[in-house]
Amino acid sequence: MSSTTLSDKTWWLPSGNRGWSISSVLIALIISIPLLVVISFLFQPSNENWQHLWDYLLTDYLRNTLILSLGVAFGVLLIGISTAWLTSMCEFPGRRWLSWALLLPMAIPAYIIAYTYTGMLDFAGPVQTTLRQLFGWQATGYWFPEIRSLGGAICMLTLVLYPYVYMLTRAAFLEQSTCALEVSRTLGKGPWGSFYKVALPLARPAIITGLVLALMETLADYGTVQYFGVNTFTTGIFRIWFGMGDSVTAAQLSAMLLLFVFFLILMEKYSRGRARFHHTSTKYNQIKRIELNGWRAALACFVCLLPFVLGFLLPALQLSVWTAITASSSFNADFVRLFSNSLLLAIIAAVIAVSLALVLAYSKRLVATPVAKTAAQTASLGYALPGTIVAVGVIIPFAWFDNAIDQWLRDNFNFSSGLLLSGTLFALLFAYTVRFLSVSLQAVDAGLQKIKPGMDDSARSLGLKPFGVLTKIHMPMMRGTLLTALLLVFVDVLKELPATLILRPFNFNTLAVRAYEMANDEKLALAGAPALLIVLAGIVPVILLSSVINHARAGQQS
Amino acid sequence: MKTAYKYASILLMVALAACSKPAEQETDENVAVTNKEVTETIELNIYSARQEHLLKPLLDKFSANNGIKVNLVSGRADALLQRLESEGKNSEADVFITTDAGRLHRAKEAGVLQSIKSQSLTSKLTAQMRDPDGYWYGISQRARPIMYVKGRVDPTQISTYEQLADEQWKGKICIRSSGNIYNQSLVASMIESNGEEATEAWARGLVANLAREPKGGDRDQIKAAVAGECDLVVANTYYLGGMLTGEVEQDRVTAEQIGIIWPNQNDRGAHINVTGVGVTAASKNMDVAVQFIEFMLSEEAQSHYALENVEYPVINKVAHSDTLKSWGEFKADSLTLSRLGELNADATRLMDRAGWK
Amino acid sequence: MTTMLKVDNVSIAYGKNEVVHGTGFTLAEGEIGCLLGPSGCGKTTLLRAIAGFEPVTEGSIHIANTMLSDKDKLTPPEQRQIGMVFQDFTLFPHVNVAANIAFGLNGNKNENQKRVDELLELIRLPEYGDRYPHELSGGQQQRIALARAIAPKPRLLLLDEPFSSLDTHHRRKLSSLVAKILRQEKITSLLVTHDQREAFTVADNIGVMDSGAIMQWDSANNIYTSPANKTVASFITRGDWLDGTVTADGQADTIFGLVDLGQHSLVAGTKIECLVRSHDLVVTEDSLHQATVMGRSFAGNFTRYRIKAGDNQFMITAQGDAQFEIGASISVSYQPRSSVFFIK
């Protein structure tokens, strides 16, 4: 889009705030480039591989993807909501530390948890071997749950993805007016009835946001399902591409995945209808946590402890054991650089993603045109694409751009610029932004919506320009939200593998890359140290994040 | 809070500054020192589908020997190929290293490699280990034999890949998924040898004999066999060697219980594949690139493969490690390796039809 | 008349901090009671204890002879059949008006619909069933909240400062409408407010609370004419205090002369304080008692002056225009409608 079209055709822009509209549309367009590249493959003629897909694979892929998605959805909702409710509304021993410990599994990459559990639970692993020795079982003829299965993949993904639902739902519960729950109690609904009929529906936007994030991650997952031998839509994309060398059909499958996610998001928006979820009340009573005693307290404790132990403690222990075994060859000077590379990338990517999210969300607030809304919506689709596909979507236009500039310079000035953007950290950071903007945008958007429009009006009447309103009013008010968004992207980038692998510049390695290369070479034990460090680097922000949520209720201690 | 934003924006500046000069980001300190002494730094840029830790010792040696700075990006083969293709003639890569002859063939077809006619290179390798037109040269090879659990299987009972489909092995075989390139090229070699129809029938028979749905990597198959889940495994020797020489005690114990059967010794030979290297079409450092390939085929580099990586070298002069020796000599399938690449898609589709997950 | 609510000697504490100290009252069936007091006096806490949100540390709460709370027992709110209207607009934002009202109903769809229509009619918002809360004004929302609370026909309705989020005009209008509906439907209710006028408009009996205890439980008239103590008296109407000494003939000697105290049994010489409401002082030509005008505010059909007599200042209202300047000397006489006095 050229600038003339923008300034000449402004019928779709309300007057004023034009700069904001234009920048949001521009950002959305630029962020959408990789997606458009992928979607453009839909218009390429399909080839004979489609017939093959159709005949032998697609039913299986779709079935597995559907079951996987439903299973993960069920799992993350069950764990996420129940633990969010218990830690925000009930009092039981250990609640305080569990409320942040429950976030920790987020720091573990899905493929890493898959490796650790396989190491522990496989037929040849310590658990089964011990059981066989203990009870004198034969190799066959006893039943043991197979970890490398569709069910296993559901469990693994659930364990590392439920924190999205937990985190957002808990924040929603803490921000809910307790009056609404009390009203429900006086109308004859018990604590559980009130939970189902009031608290849960009110937390719906938060729950759905968490669920969407978890499902998009699930659809994008390649490492776990591939390792477990579960054929999903995403493994199908790679099978077609890697196995048959057909990048066109692979991109077409990716485009279909994108359209599917877009459809899901639209469905959700539509189903909300006229209902609103923000509170009509402005008064926040101190939450009176229900004191649990005896077996109830024990049960609550168990319910919250289980996801933490399974999703974090056991895998981290396994990683520690591996690290201990390989300590001598794992830790060297190189390792410090891996660590600092990972941190630096994650921090920069987080700042970029949150800044862009602020611009997009704020322009949507300033000028709620369908264009602005669609811009924000489109820009966040990248989260559902496997990292490798996003990377290809980045490589193609960047290389095209670089080569075009180079050609032009050669033709006109007899000078070669070579590759300007391809193979730079800029390309990598761009890919991260495409992939994770959704995460920051969801958080920032939700945060902005909590600020009443009257606040903007009064600030404007006091002489602030829109930018001033954003920096002087909104950003300080949303401190917690911004920090949440920053940390979410930070942790995600820290774990990111496929795009990093392909797009990074020469000699640039990260912890995730090291962990993957070791694991891919089937040297799991050597993958332990970098994986453990990813987890450790992720823990700090996760703990920070938790204290942010705890203070979500204005000026209140949790 | 104000200060926090200030810091954030400073950070962003720093970041952008860092982005603009990525190539200078890092280098081994001693190499950097050497480079300063040379008026113009000679650099070699490598895209590699082999993991960094497998190549690094060799690259360091190459740098030390020749004073050439080596820059590396390692990643998944097909994605790197895509990157190379998109970057076109401006690509900074000089050399492309990838596992599997199929990938090498695909790179050649995509036009990202250039033909190198070098007497010194061709003389070192048998015709099978290089592209006939000089687009790529093998640097290491690996074999994919049948493995068995010692004491549980009489190794004389099976002597060919074809026999894996025999009734007697029902529920006794572990092999990884058909999505894996090693299996794809094994099947491609069988299509080349036996034809598509016979191979498909064979694949059905194999699938019927599997002890479990394919899952995990080659090491996982070996572990499952030793644990008792199956008796026969098809896996690369490289992984068995890795277990035998690795740091994990339990892996060593497990691997020691595995024996190797070299299949098809009376006909075409055991399935092998190569890791190869080619000079990119965009390379502006062709001499250095060739120098690098020559280094990779030197005895020094080749014995590294044999001794440290438990891979089979591509030149004959190099001594094998004890581990390699313990597995004995074998006859390798002599098909033209680029055929594996040509037949890869057919093999993948065949396995889909046969229900090989 | 049967007793519907009995609050007996109830104490309530938050941790170690006791905020309600052994207080009680009863409400008859259909009666509208009110807890009136300044903020922080414990009235809302007592209301929440009746609703079942707070446990009691002492005493008991009964509804229709069923014990609901004592120091060992706390029937959960949902089992009490007590409806409640909260200060803030606490309609559920995610469902429409009809669903809000039907929230506590357990009947079948038709019955519920009928009851909802009935109630919408009662609160004079028919046709509003399909609206969503955010589409309504504050006063409308609070009417819906009332309808929602009385929909399940609770045995008792609690109203916690239900009008305080509204502006003065809507507060007056809505409080009379609510009083009318409660009387018409014969709903036993307990209102909590800090607004004396609201209490007088709505309630049959009022309990004036201060520092965690009910000082006086009585009709509006009795509380006004014979407050139980100085605190009650000053909370009910703004007033000033006039020192006096009981004379031998039972009158009080003050700076405004002798004041008739009515029936009492105080001995001569007792020091007392008489309540001086602004309309108890009258500007009159023939009074000997002089006062100086210190300040004035014109209020339309009357003018309020602040005057100084002796060492004390008093408020006084005078009909008509603001005729006296600040600093002017006027003569006033003390003519209380009912004499309210306490021993000093």
Q: Which residues 248-277 of C have a C-beta within 8 angstroms of A? A: none
Please indicate whether, in this complex, the C-beta atoms of C78 and A179 are within 8 angstroms of each other.
no
Rg of chain B's alpha carbons, rounded to an integer?
A: 23
| C-alpha closest to that of B145 among B61, B230, B209, B238 | B238
Return the percentage of chain A with pLDDT > 70, whole number: 89
Give residues with Cβ within 8 angstroms of C344, minimum separation 6: C243, C271, C272, C273
**In A, residues 299-358, which contact C (CB 8 Å cutoff)?**
none
Which residues does chain A have within 8 Å of residue C90's beta carbon, measured at their own beta carbons? 177, 179-180, 182-183, 280-281
Nearest by Cα to C5 from C217, C246, C306: C217
Give the C-alpha separation, C250 to C261, whole Å.
Answer: 7
Q: Indicate whether B24 belongs to any domain.
A: no
Give the gap in angstroms from C-alpha B228 to the nearest C-alpha of chain A: 5
CB contact under 8 A, C133 and A202: no
pLDDT mean over B291-309: 89
B308: domain CATH number is 3.40.190.10
A285-319 pLDDT, tens digit each: 566 777 888 888 999 999 999 999 999 999 999 99
Range C16-24 average pLDDT: 90
* Segment (H or E) for A186: helix A178-186
**A514: chain B residues, CB-CB within 8 Å:** 52-53
Q: Specify the higher pLDDT residue, B268 or A483.
A: B268
User: What is chain B's mean pLDDT, rounded?
Assistant: 85
What's the rounded mean pLDDT across residues B238-258?
A: 88
Lowest mean pLDDT among A370-374, B225-229, C184-188: A370-374
Q: What is the mean pLDDT of residues A187-214?
A: 85
State the nearest Cα–Cα gap between A40 and chain B, in angstroms. 16
Domain boundaries defined on chain C: 3-235, 242-343
Question: How does residue C259 score in pLDDT terms, banded at 50, 70 and 90?
Answer: confident
Q: What pLDDT score does A166 carry?
A: 92
Residue-level pLDDT at A439: 86
Q: Which residue is listed with tokens 């923000």?
A: A278
Sign of CA dihedral A383, A385, A388, A390: negative
Task: Say how many Å lie between the first and final Cα of chain B, rounded.
Answer: 55
| Partners of residue A283 in chain C, C-beta under 8 Å | 87-88
Annotate B322-340 with DSSP letters as a single string: HHHHHH---PBP-S-THHH
How would you classify the pairing of strands C281-283 and C252-254?
unpaired
pLDDT computed for residue B2 by the predictor = 44
> Tokens 């399940």 map to which residue?
C152
CA angle B71, B101, A240 (to 5 degrees): 95
Per-position b or e across A64-96, b if 16+ CB within 10 A of its CB: bbebbbebbbebbbebbbbbbbbbbbbbbeebe
State both tokens at C153: 């026909």
pLDDT at position A140 over 70: no
- In what helix (H) or strand (E) does residue B138 lie, and over which residues does it extend? strand B137-143
Residue A354 has pLDDT above 80, yes or no: yes
Mean pLDDT of C270-291: 85
Chain-centroid distance, C-alpha A59: 27
Instruction: Identify the residue with better confidence: C120 or C95.
Output: C120
Q: What is the spatial distance between Cα A42 and Cα A65, in angstroms, rounded to a whole number? A: 21
* Chain C residue with the nearest C-alpha to that of A190: C78
Please indicate, yes or no, if residue B188 is contained in any of the structural domains: yes
Among A252-256, B69-73, C155-159, whose mean pLDDT is lowest?
A252-256
Find, in chain A, the residue whose alpha carbon is nearest to that of C102. Answer: A187
From the CA of C134, how many Å to the nearest CA of chain A? 7
Q: Does B32 score more than 50 pLDDT?
A: no
> Where residue B31 falls among pLDDT bands split at 50, 70, 90?
very low
> Does residue B166 sit in the same domain as residue B255?
yes
Residue B8 has pLDDT above 50, yes or no: no
Q: Which of A53-57, A210-214, C23-27 has the lowest mean pLDDT?
A: A53-57
Could you report the per-residue pLDDT of C210-251, keeping only the tens digit for each? 989 999 999 988 888 888 888 888 888 778 888 889 988 888
DSSP B74: E
- If one counts every other C-beta atom within 10 angstroms of the C-beta of residue B95, the result is 24
B290 and B183 assigned to the same domain = no
Choose, out of C81, C90, C136, the residue to mutate when testing the contact with A (most A CBs < 10 Å). Answer: C90
Question: Can you tell me whether residue B265 is helix, strand or coil?
Answer: coil
More confident residue, A38 or A160: A160
- Interchain pair B26, A337: CB under 8 A: yes
Q: Is C343 exposed, middle or buried (0-12, 13-18, 19+ CB in 10 A)?
A: exposed
B253 inside domain:
yes
Asked if residue B16 belongs to a domain, the reply is no
pLDDT category of residue C310 using cuts at 50, 70 and 90? confident
Q: What are the pLDDT digits (tens) for A65-74?
A: 999 999 999 9
Do both B286 and B340 map to the same domain?
no
CB atoms within 10 A of CB A404: 10
Q: Do the beta carbons of residue A280 and residue C89 sit within 8 Å? A: yes
Contacting residues for B170 by C-beta, under 8 A, at least 6 apart = B208, B209
**pLDDT (average), residues A452-469:** 75
Is it the case that residue B29 has pLDDT exceeding 70?
no
- pLDDT confidence of C57, banded at 50, 70, 90? very high
B120: Cα separation from own chain's centroid: 24
Same domain, residue pair B184 and B279: no
The average confidence (pLDDT) of chain C is: 88
pLDDT score recorded for residue C286 = 75
Question: At CA B306, angle to CA B300 and CA B310, rounded to 5?
Answer: 145
DSSP conformation letters of C58-126: EEEEEETTEEEE-SS-B--GGGTTEEEE-SS----TTS-HHHHHGGG--S-HHHHHHHHHHHHHHTT-T
Q: Are residues B173 and B266 in the same domain?
A: yes
Contact B314, B306 (CB under 8 A): no
Which residues of A fall within a CB distance of 8 Å from B5?
471, 475
Q: What pLDDT shows up at residue B25?
A: 38
Q: Do domains C3-235 and C242-343 have the same CATH topology?
A: no
Domains of chain A: 53-275+287-327 (1.10.3720.10), 331-509 (1.10.3720.10)
Banded model confidence at residue A15, pLDDT cuts 50, 70, 90? very low
Q: Are strands B146-149 and B95-99 parallel, antiparallel or unpaired?
A: unpaired
Does residue A8 surpass a pLDDT of 70?
no
Helix (H) or strand (E) holding C158: strand C156-160
Q: What is the mean pLDDT of residues B219-232?
A: 90
Residues whose CB is less than 8 angstroms from the CB of residue C101 and which lie 6 or more positions away in sequence, other chains included: C115, C116, C119, C120, C129, C144, C147, C148, C151
Task: For residues C319-344, give the mean pLDDT.
Answer: 83
User: Where do we find the tokens 């669903």?
Assistant: C99
pLDDT band with cut points at 50, 70 and 90 for residue A21: confident
Evaluate if residue A247 carries a pLDDT over 80. no
Contact residues on chain C for A284, CB-CB shorter than 8 A: none
Q: Does domain C3-235 have CATH number 3.30.390.10?
A: no
Whether chains C and B touch (3+ CB pairs under 8 A) is answered by no
**Picking from A14-23, C26-35, C319-328, C330-339, which range would have the lowest pLDDT averaged per residue?**
A14-23
Average pLDDT over all residues of chain A: 81
Q: Per-residue pLDDT for C265 more than 50?
A: yes
Q: Are residues B310 and B337 in the same domain?
A: no
Rg of chain C in Å (alpha carbons) = 24
Q: By mean pLDDT, which of A154-168, A320-334, C171-185 is the weakest?
A: A320-334
Element (H, E) at C321: none
Sheet holding C302-309, edge to edge: C281-283, C329-334, C290-298, C302-309, C312-319
Contacts of C103 in chain A (CB under 8 A): 184, 187, 189, 197
Residue B231 host element (H or E): none
* Per-residue pLDDT tens over the stretch A475-502: 877 777 788 788 889 988 988 887 887 7
At C1 the pLDDT is 66
pTM assigned to the model? 0.79
Q: Please give the residue of chain A at the shortest CA–CA distance from C82.
A: A186
Contact state of A231 with B83 under an 8 Å Cβ cutoff: no
Asked if pLDDT for residue A7 goes beyond 50, the answer is no
Q: Band of the pLDDT at A217, cuts 50, 70, 90?
A: confident
DSSP single-letter state for residue C133: G
Mean pLDDT in residue range B102-131: 89
More confident residue, B313 or C301: B313
**Residue A301 CB-density burial (10 A; 0-12 exposed, 13-18 middle, 19+ buried):** middle
Q: Which domain holds residue B166?
A: 143-271+325-353
DSSP structural state of residue A504: P
Average pLDDT of span A351-359: 92
User: To 10 degrees, what angle do helices B218-227 and B237-245 make?
Assistant: 70
Please determine, for residue A235, whether its predicted confidence score (pLDDT) is greater than 60: yes
- Say whether pLDDT at B7 is over 80: no
| Distances A57 to A62, A518, B348, B350 between C-alpha atoms, Å | 9, 30, 12, 12
Are both B234 and B254 inside the same structural domain?
A: yes
Mean of the pLDDT values across residues C92-115?
88
What pLDDT band is residue A198 in, cutting at 50, 70 and 90?
Answer: confident
The residue with greater pLDDT, A418 or A277, is A418
**Residue A550's pLDDT band (cuts 50, 70, 90):** low
Nearest residue to A379 (alpha-carbon basis) of A24, A20, A61: A24
| B15: in domain | no
Write down the CATH superfamily of domain C242-343: Nucleic acid-binding proteins (2.40.50.140)
B191 and B237 belong to one structural domain? yes
Residues B337 and B243 placed together within one structural domain of the fold: yes
Average pLDDT over residues A369-376: 76
Query: Could you give the CA distance from residue B104 to residue B135 in angstroms, rounded to a whole number?
Result: 9
Collect all residues of chain A within an 8 Å Cβ-Cβ radius of residue B350: none
B3: in domain: no
Total structural domains in chain B? 2
Name the residue type at position B284: K
Q: Tens of pLDDT along B158-185?
A: 999 999 999 999 999 999 988 888 899 9
